[in-house]
Structure 1
Amino acid sequence: GLVHRAIRCVEKRSIFGSATLCLLSIDKHSSYLRSLNIGDSGFMLIRQNKLIIRSHPQYHRGSSPFQLSSLPTTQSFTSNTTRLYHDKPSDGEYIEHNLEIGDLLLIASDGLFDNLYEDFIVQI
């Protein structure tokens, strides 16, 4: 799919790095939401001031969030990075849900979710 194509494009260009992912798509005809979340970014679906759905942050040991990555494959790099995680799109959380008129989708990074309680966010 889309995420796999994006990863291949980045790898072809030898662009190195990693990132969490929160990808949402909405079918404009059926108002159907599909999401893929990897790591500690995420989303909330709020309806009539009530939390309906929240994606779940994903961590490896401690506070190391799941991430998609493109890393060098040279021997000197790989021999020094045996503890790196290699998360795949299939490791993410996939959610589907029907949307209704008036629903609010909030997409945010851990900067929001780590610093504000869910109830406070919903009240805003």
Structure 2
Amino acid sequence: MKGQPRASLLLAVLAAFIAPATPAHACQCYNFSRAEIVQRADIVFEGTVAVVTAVRGQLQATIDIGRIEKGPPVTSITLLTPASSAACGVRLEVAQRVTLAAMRDGRVWRTNLCIALGLRPISPFVPNR
């Protein structure tokens, strides 16, 4: 009986090394041009991230829109993106200036790394003169 716990531990350790590893998944995007992304998107805009919250494995961000290139005339948008960059999630931070394309999914707007047109570092916005 004394050898049984040791044998169980040995089997558990061996199983951990022998068991097949689950493959890592990384974000994979097609190499769409900016024009193709704009054509496929329901909205394309520049704005400033106002709020970011985590919601069930996704980030929900509210963005104050400064300029709309394509889409409905709105002053802000709330959208979802995967929380992980490995799942093509866009890293959004409060006060960050962004240029994004998004697609309508029912009543929800969604974006991802494959259609994020431009992300700028967090810094005060200084308009061109």
| TM-score normalized with structure 2 length | 0.21
For the pair shown, which has the larger CA radius of gyration, 1 or 2?
Answer: 2
Higher strand share: 2
TM-score, normalization: structure 1?
0.21
Specify which structure has the bigger relative contact order, considering alpha-carbon pairs within 8 angstroms and separated by 6 or more residues: 1
